[in-house]
């Protein structure tokens, strides 16, 4: 059965090195230096908006999938309620840096972002609860960290205010709680050695998809 020590090992051995690699990527290196182009910032807003819309639909499907298990049903209901405004927050940021409503209406995912979203939804539909939340543990940890990077750099180098940066201020705090909740689901539902290995595999894969997502945005919005 998964324990706190097991979850801590996944974070230490898989997720944290992935966070470090993401922070060393071209995207975040240039962001910290104030050299990241507005177009690449807009690319994040568009692509994350698309992802967040898909995520809401995924949570709705998870509620149906787990309708027979009250704890999991209520967990995914809570997550749906928590995330329901996040597409609008990503859009708010995009509008503040020059995008239009039409840009979001016409947006399509770039390849790497589609792959990342597909992995997320795959876990929601076909994975066990512990596999599903292993992906979430990666995503929530990474979003929490990169929200701090965006929040600091965009204030310092790009002159954006609290209203424009609401997505990042919300996620730098809320995702700490979401990470904790994902860990608790893993500990309750990963009951066998095989399930523990699936949790590790899910985390490894999601780290790679998440890093590739930002590389894809960087290249697509050059």
Short-list 134, 143, 141, 132, CA closest to 168: 143
Q: How many domains does the chain have?
A: 1
The residue segments making up the domain with residue 30 are: 4-220
Short-list 167, 50, 145, CA closest to 97: 167
d(CA 118, CA 111): 10
Residue 49 · residue 94 · CB < 8 Å: yes
Q: If you write DSSP's letter for every residue of 127-181 in order, what string do you get?
A: S-HHHHHHHHHHHHHHHHHHHHHHHHHHHHHH---TTTTHHHHHHHHHHHHHHHH
What integer pLDDT is reported at residue 174 of this predicted model? 65
- Dig out the tokens for 62 from the structure: 């998870």
pLDDT, tens only, 60-118: 999 999 999 999 999 999 999 999 999 999 999 999 999 999 999 999 999 999 999 99
Is the pTM value of this prediction over 0.85? yes
CATH of the domain at 183: 1.20.910.10
What integer pLDDT is reported at residue 177 of this predicted model? 83
Which residues, at least 6 apart from 36, have a Cβ–Cβ distance to it below 8 Å? 27, 30, 153
Which residues, at least 6 apart from 172, have a Cβ–Cβ distance to it below 8 Å? 144, 147, 148, 151
Residue 221 · residue 24 · CB < 8 Å: no
Q: Helices 129-158 and 16-23, interaxial angle, to 10°? A: 30
Longest dimension (CA), the chain: 51
pLDDT, tens only, 198-218: 999 999 999 999 999 999 999
């Amino acid at each position: 059965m998964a324990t706190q020590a097991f979850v801590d090992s996944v974070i230490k051995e898989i997720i944290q090195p992935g966070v470090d690699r993401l922070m060393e990527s071209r995207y975040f290196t240039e962001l910290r230096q104030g050299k990241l182009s507005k177009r690449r910032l807009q690319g994040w807003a568009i692509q994350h908006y698309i992802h967040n819309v898909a995520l809401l639909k995924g949570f709705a499907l998870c509620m149906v999938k787990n309708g027979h298990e009250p704890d999991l049903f209520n967990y995914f209901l809570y997550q749906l309620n928590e995330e329901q405004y996040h597409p609008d927050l990503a859009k708010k940021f995009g509008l503040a840096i020059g995008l239009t409503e039409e840009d979001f209406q016409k947006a399509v995912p770039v390849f790497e972002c589609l792959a990342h979203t597909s992995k997320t939804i795959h876990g929601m539909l076909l994975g066990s609860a512990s596999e599903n939340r292993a992906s979430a543990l990666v995503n929530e940890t990474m979003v929490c960290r990169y929200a701090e990077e965006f929040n600091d750099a965009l204030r310092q180098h790009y002159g954006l205010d609290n209203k424009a940066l609401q997505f990042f201020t919300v996620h730098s705090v809320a995702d700490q709680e979401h990470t904790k909740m994902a860990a608790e689901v893993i500990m309750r539902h990963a009951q066998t050695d095989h399930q523990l290995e699936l949790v590790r595999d899910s985390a490894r894969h999601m780290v790679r998809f998440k890093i590739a997502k930002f590389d894809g945005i960087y290249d697509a919005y050059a």
